[in-house]
């Protein structure tokens, strides 16, 4: 799979897919999308990059170990529920704030934090498996 | 989005509107704590020296949390927290009654001991494979299963603990471990799939997954819906999880292969989660169907306990023998489920807690014995008594306890179960329990005589004599033995707790009221 065409295109394709995955993640609360599907898109982006340019390049690019990424995601997701203790409501209750940024109202919520956590868990876990399999192929 | 405008609908129709008392957070806290600590440990998985320093205090905090939860439930009755504030049955409820809290506290104590024992038993490579993260995350699964009030959520927690258990089982990726791991994984996946199929069926019949809701609706549906089929499916799925005869063969095939501390944890906790699910679903949700199946369950129970202990008697590897003793104990617990009377269920609950502590401690004791030079082969072991009187004494206490001899914790639940069987005239079930006790005594007596009393066979003894006693492991062992002795000489509080828990299972009105406070008071 290491053709010149594929290797030239893969970085652009990967960055586009990661961008798209973040878009899918952020639109997820009220429309189709969310952390899980966004994470899958990002993980397949990393897998494509790995097929084209090698596993070492992917590991360099994401800097952290994939398992550490999913651990951060798990931590975020669990902590997002704990925020509700300060509001006196049960665990995992969605809490919203509406700060205004340059005149645009932003709807931020603990649900978003949870979704970002799910995104990271999926990216980390799936790309960890994918990278492991791609490394196994070379042996 | 009309974000800040006033809500157009009456929120009290979808939300739990009452305030949440700070103490009610104890319901969610143990599981959340395990997940948070587990995540931190995964981040630190290369740092093998720091891991136990975080994990062991964290498990200590977990023990305190679950003990506080037991205290809270005793003081205030069953507690419920519905996640995301959605009204049950739509939100997922965590509902902790006395049974769940008692099992959770016992399991946490066992996990703390396993964490301490793991310091000496699991080397650097095992820690790099993730012993401590998996240990904490498996506790999230086990405690979630004990605390949830939603059947599908129970399935999810089973998955969480299964995935962690796969990781623990192949810690180190040795050949024998992978072999045992595949058998374990395959058969447990079948059981889990059956559980899922049954749950899909249940959802089709009831239109709800909330246990309290099911308990209310079961009596309405009993005439029309095929509940017997449903309950039989659940019985098969959980009997497989609990390793009851004839679906027990995965346990002896896999429990002797992993690191010793992992075997100990599995023997103590995993099969008991199956027993817990049987008690909850057959005992609480479908008592009439359980009554109809009671003869089947009783026969399964009698066969499980007798064949389990006969299997143990035939083994040469001590770890394998202990695996069969675990199965035998499952039979005793299922006898309580078959009886279904308050005394029978209380006996099963007490025995499950006893078995969690004692089976884990037995594996610890055998592991320390092997480290001192005895090995796991009965034909070659010997001289352990001469090498360390302390370990030999602690092991003897555990042997007597597992055989059900006084004054240790195995005695009382067996008395309760024998009496409960005789009360309903099931003399053969009482006989099976007593015969099992006798055969267990012979089994552990044989191990004791061969591995502890017999002088060390020649060359093996001299080399190992210099091995120092592992301090952490001995402390973990002594702690669990102390629990067993305390429950043996001072059984009244535990017995009262088990009886209250059994009453809560047989009359779920308090459980239902905790989830649906408004409906019950109408």
Q: Closest residue of B to A91, CA-based?
A: B83
Interface residue A92 vs chain B (CB under 8 A): yes
Chain B residues in contact with A110 (beta carbon < 8 A)? none
User: Could you give the C-alpha distances from B469 to B120, B122, B221, B244, B317, in angstroms and in order?
Assistant: 11, 16, 60, 36, 22
Lowest mean pLDDT among A43-47, A102-106, B198-202: A102-106
Chain B residues in contact with A71 (beta carbon < 8 A)? 39-40, 42-43
Q: Which residues contact B314 (CB under 8 A, 6 or more apart)?
A: none
Inside any domain, residue B336: yes
Inside any domain, residue B427: yes
Domain assignments of chain A as residue spans, ordered by start: 4-138
* Maximum C-alpha span of chain A: 58
CA distance linking residue A57 with residue A46, whole number of Å: 10
CA dihedral over B303, B309, B313, B317, signed as positive or negative: positive
* Cα dihedral B71/B72/B78/B83 (nearest 10): -130
Among the partner residues B20, B28, B39, nearest to A71 by beta-carbon distance: B39
Q: What range defines the domain where residue B499 resides?
A: 293-514
Count of pairs with CB atoms under 8 A, one residue in A, one in B: 60
Among the partner residues A92, A93, A98, nearest to B4 by beta-carbon distance: A98
Interface residue A23 vs chain B (CB under 8 A): no
- Token pair of A97 as six digits: 């704030």
CB contact under 8 A, A78 and B39: yes
Q: What is the DSSP letter of B84?
A: G
Q: How many Å lie between the alpha carbon of A102 and the closest alpha carbon of chain B?
A: 18
CB contact under 8 A, A90 and B32: no
pLDDT in tens, chain B (522 residues): 444 555 567 777 778 777 777 788 889 999 999 999 999 999 988 888 889 999 999 999 999 999 999 999 999 889 999 888 888 888 899 999 999 999 999 999 999 999 999 988 888 777 888 899 999 999 999 999 999 999 999 999 999 999 999 989 888 777 888 888 888 898 899 999 999 999 999 999 999 999 999 999 988 888 888 899 999 999 999 999 999 988 888 888 888 888 889 999 999 999 999 999 999 999 999 999 999 999 999 999 999 999 999 999 998 889 999 999 999 999 999 999 999 999 999 999 999 999 999 999 999 999 988 888 777 888 777 778 888 888 889 999 999 999 988 888 889 999 999 999 999 988 999 999 999 999 999 999 999 888 888 887 765 555 555 577 788 889 999 999 999 999 999 999 999 999 999 999 999 988 998 888 865 444
Among the partner residues B19, B43, B85, nearest to A93 by beta-carbon distance: B85
Q: What is the pLDDT of residue B6?
A: 57
The size of chain A, in residues, is 139
Q: How many Å lie between the alpha carbon of B265 and the closest alpha carbon of chain A?
A: 24
Number of compact structural domains in chain B: 1
Which site among A68, A69, A78, A90 would you substitute to test the B interface, given the most B Cβ atoms closer than 10 Å to its Cβ?
A90
Alpha helices in A54-109 (DSSP H): 55-62, 66-82, 84-87
Check if the interface score ipTM surpasses 0.85: yes
Inside any domain, residue B19: no
Chain A residues in contact with B38 (beta carbon < 8 A)? 74
CA distance linking residue B116 with residue B460, whole number of Å: 28
B26: left (phi over 0), alpha (psi -120 to 50) or beta: alpha
Question: What is the DSSP pairing of strand A104-105 with strand A100-101?
Answer: antiparallel
Q: Is the pLDDT of residue A46 over 90?
A: yes
CB contact under 8 A, A89 and B20: yes
Which site among A91, A124, A128 would you substitute to test the B interface, given the most B Cβ atoms closer than 10 Å to its Cβ?
A91
Angle B403-B355-B450 (CA atoms, 0-180°, nearest 5)?
40
Inside any domain, residue B325: yes
CA dihedral over B184, B303, B397, B455, signed as positive or negative: negative
Q: What is the pLDDT of residue B465?
A: 56
Alpha helices in B375-470 (DSSP H): 384-387, 389-403, 411-423, 427-447, 459-464
Chain B residues in contact with A113 (beta carbon < 8 A)? none
Task: Point out which residues pair with A104 in neighbouring strands.
Answer: A101
CB contact under 8 A, B25 and A85: yes
Interface residue A88 vs chain B (CB under 8 A): yes
CA dihedral over A85, A88, A92, A93, signed as positive or negative: negative
Q: How many Å lie between the alpha carbon of B91 and the closest alpha carbon of chain A?
A: 10
CB contact under 8 A, B32 and A78: yes
CA distance linking residue B357 with residue B448, whole number of Å: 20
With beta carbons less than 8 A apart as the criterion, state whether B331 and B244 touch. Answer: yes
Q: How many Å lie between the alpha carbon of A107 and the closest alpha carbon of chain B?
A: 8
Chain B residues in contact with A78 (beta carbon < 8 A)? 32, 35-36, 39
CB contact under 8 A, A75 and B82: no
With beta carbons less than 8 A apart as the criterion, state whether B176 and B257 touch. Answer: yes
Instruction: Give residue-wise pLDDT tens across range B106-163.
Output: 999 999 999 999 988 888 777 888 899 999 999 999 999 999 999 999 999 999 999 9
Q: Closest residue of A to B37, CA-based?
A: A75
Interface residue B25 vs chain A (CB under 8 A): yes
Q: How many Å lie between the alpha carbon of B51 and the closest alpha carbon of chain A?
A: 14
Chain B residues in contact with A90 (beta carbon < 8 A)? 16, 20, 28, 81-85
Chain A residues in contact with B19 (beta carbon < 8 A)? 88
> What are phi and psi for residue B427, nearest 5 degrees?
-65, -30
Inside any domain, residue B241: no
Interface residue A64 vs chain B (CB under 8 A): no
Inside any domain, residue B141: no
Q: How many Å lie between the alpha carbon of A138 and the closest alpha carbon of chain B?
A: 21
- Token pair of A17 as six digits: 């897919």
The pLDDT of A45-69, averaged and rounded, is 91
The pLDDT of A105-113, averaged and rounded, is 86
Residue B49 DSSP SS3: coil
């Amino acid at each position: 799979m290491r053709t010149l065409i594929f290797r030239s295109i893969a970085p652009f394709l990967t960055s586009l897919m990661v961008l798209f995955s973040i878009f899918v993640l952020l639109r997820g609360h009220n429309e189709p999308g969310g952390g899980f599907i966004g994470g899958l898109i990002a993980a397949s982006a990393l897998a494509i990059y790995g097929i084209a340019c090698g596993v070492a390049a992917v590991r360099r690019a994401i800097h952290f170990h994939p398992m550490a990424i999913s651990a951060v995601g798990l931590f975020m997701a669990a902590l997002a529920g704990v925020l509700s203790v300060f509001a006196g409501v049960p665990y995992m209750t969605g809490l919203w704030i509406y700060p205004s940024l340059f005149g645009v109202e932003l709807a931020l919520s603990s649900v978003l934090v949870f979704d970002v956590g799910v995104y990271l868990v999926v990216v980390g876990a799936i790309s960890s498996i994918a990278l492991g399999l791609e490394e196994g192929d070379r042996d | 989005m009309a974000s800040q405008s006033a809500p157009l609908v009456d929120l009290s129709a979808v939300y739990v509107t009452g305030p949440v008392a700070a103490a009610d957070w104890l319901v969610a806290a143990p599981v959340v704590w395990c997940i948070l600590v587990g995540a931190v440990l995964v981040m630190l998985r290369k740092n093998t020296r720091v891991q136990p320093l975080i994990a062991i205090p964290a498990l200590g905090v977990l023990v305190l949390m679950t003990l506080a939860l037991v205290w809270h439930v005793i003081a205030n009755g069953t507690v419920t927290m519905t996640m995301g504030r959605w009204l049950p049955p739509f939100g997922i409820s965590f509902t902790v009654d006395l049974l769940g809290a008692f099992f959770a506290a016992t399991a946490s104590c066992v996990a703390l001991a396993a964490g301490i024992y793991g310091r000496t038993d699991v080397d650097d490579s095992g820690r790099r494979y993730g012993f401590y993260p998996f240990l904490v995350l498996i506790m999230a699964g086990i405690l979630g299963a004990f605390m949830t009030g939603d059947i599908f959520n129970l399935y999810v927690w089973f998955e969480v603990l299964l995935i962690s258990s796969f990781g623990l089982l192949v810690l180190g990726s040795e050949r024998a471990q992978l072999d045992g791991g595949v058998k374990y994984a395959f058969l447990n996946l079948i059981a889990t799939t059956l559980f899922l199929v049954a749950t899909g069926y249940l959802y089709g019949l009831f239109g709800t997954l909330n246990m309290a809701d099911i308990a209310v609706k079961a009596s309405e549906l009993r005439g029309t819906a095929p509940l017997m089929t449903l309950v039989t499916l659940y019985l098969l799925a959980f009997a497989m999880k609990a390793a009851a005869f004839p679906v027990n063969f995965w346990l002896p095939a896999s429990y002797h292969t992993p690191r010793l501390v992992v075997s100990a944890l599995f023997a103590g906790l995993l099969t008991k989660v199956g027993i817990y699910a049987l008690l909850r679903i057959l005992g609480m949700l479908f008592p009439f169907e359980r009554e109809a199946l009671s003869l089947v369950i009783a026969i399964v129970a009698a066969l499980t306990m007798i064949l389990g202990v006969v299997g143990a008697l035939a083994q040469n590897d001590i770890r394998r023998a202990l695996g069969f003793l675990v199965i035998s104990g499952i039979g005793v617990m299922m006898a309580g489920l078959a009886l279904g009377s308050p005394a029978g269920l209380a006996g099963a609950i007490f025995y499950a807690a006893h078995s969690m502590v004692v089976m884990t401690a037995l594996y610890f004791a055998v592991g320390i014995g092997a480290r001192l030079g005895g090995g796991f082969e009965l034909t070659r072991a010997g001289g352990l008594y001469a090498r360390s009187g302390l370990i030999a004494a602690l092991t003897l206490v555990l042997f007597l306890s597992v055989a059900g001899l006084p004054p240790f914790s195995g005695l009382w639940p067996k008395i309760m179960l024998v009496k409960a069987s005789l009360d309903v005239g099931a003399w053969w079930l009482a006989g099976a329990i007593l015969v099992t006790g006798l055969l267990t005594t012979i089994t552990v007596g044989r191990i004791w005589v061969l591995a502890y009393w017999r002088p060390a066979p020649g060359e093996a003894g001299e080399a190992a004599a210099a091995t120092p006693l592992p301090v952490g492991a001995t402390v973990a062992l002594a702690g669990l033995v102390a629990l067993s002795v305390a429950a043996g000489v001072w059984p009244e509080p535990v017995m009262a707790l088990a009886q209250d828990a059994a009453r809560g299972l047989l009359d779920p009105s308090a459980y239902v009221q905790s989830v649906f406070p408004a409906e019950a008071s109408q």
